[in-house]
C-alpha cells in the first residue's frame, strides 16, 4: 500500500540531489570570482581547486547514484513492500553525505572522508537493492 509513495518520494530526492549539485556549481562560480580565476582554467587558488573538485567528484558520482536510486525504487520497493522506503532513505543519505563531503572538502581536503564514506555506503546500498529487486522480479517477468 505505502509502496505507491516510493516514486513521488524518489522524485523529491532526485530534485534535492539536483539542487545540491546546483549549489555546488554556484560555489565554484563564487570561488572563480573571489580568486579571479577565469574559465576555462581549473587551477589556481587552493580554495577554488577544492570547490572545483567537489563539483567534479559529485558529477562523477551522479551517473551511478541516479540510476541506482531509480532502479532500486522501481524494482526493490515493488517486491519488498514492508521496506519500500529503504531506497528513499539511501537516496536521501547520499544527498546528506554529498553535502557533508562538500562542507568538509571546502575547508580542507583531508576533511572530506566522512561525507565520502556516507555517500559511498548509500550509493553501494542502492546498487545492491536495485540488483536484489531486479533479480527477484526476473521470475515474474519471464513467467508470462
Q: How far apart are the first and last CA of the chain?
A: 24
CB 12 within 8 A of CB 20: no
Tell me the C-alpha distance between 131 and 67, whole Å: 11
Tell me the C-alpha distance between 118 and 95, whole Å: 9
Query: SS in 3 state form for the chain?
Result: CHHHHHHHHHHHHHHHHHHHHHHHHHHHHHHHHHCCCCCCCCCCCHHHHHHHHHHHHHHHHHHHHHHHHHHHHHHHHHHCHHHCCHHHHHHHHHHHHHHHHHHHHHHCHHHCHHHHHHHHHHHHHHHHHHHHHHHHHHHHHHCC
User: Quick one: 69 exposed, middle or buried, by C-beta within 10 A (0-12, 13-18, 19+)?
Assistant: buried
pTM of the model as a whole:
0.93
pLDDT single digits (tens) 68-96: 999 999 999 999 999 999 999 999 999 99
Fold of 2-21+61-134: 1.20.120
CA angle 59, 92, 71 (to 5 degrees): 75
pLDDT single digits (tens) 14-73: 999 999 999 999 999 999 999 999 999 999 999 999 999 999 999 999 999 999 999 999
Look at residue 3 in the predicted model and tell me its pLDDT.
74
Look at residue 2 in the predicted model and tell me its pLDDT.
75
Amino acid at each position: 500500500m505505502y509502496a505507491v509513495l516510493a516514486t513521488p518520494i524518489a522524485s523529491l530526492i532526485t530534485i534535492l540531489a539536483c539542487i545540491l549539485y546546483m549549489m555546488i556549481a554556484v560555489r565554484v562560480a563564487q570561488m572563480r570570482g573571489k580568486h579571479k580565476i577565469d574559465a576555462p582554467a581549473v587551477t589556481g587558488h587552493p580554495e577554488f581547486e577544492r570547490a572545483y573538485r567537489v563539483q567534479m567528484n559529485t558529477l562523477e558520482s551522479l551517473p551511478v547514484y541516479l540510476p541506482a536510486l531509480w532502479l532500486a525504487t522501481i524494482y526493490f520497493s515493488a517486491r519488498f513492500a514492508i521496506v519500500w522506503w529503504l531506497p528513499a532513505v539511501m537516496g536521501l543519505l547520499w544527498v546528506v553525505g554529498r553535502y557533508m563531503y562538500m562542507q568538509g572538502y571546502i575547508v580542507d581536503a583531508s576533511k572530506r572522508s566522512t561525507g565520502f564514506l556516507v555517500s559511498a555506503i548509500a550509493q553501494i546500498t542502492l546498487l545492491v537493492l536495485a540488483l536484489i529487486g531486479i533479480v527477484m522480479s526476473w521470475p515474474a517477468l519471464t513467467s508470462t
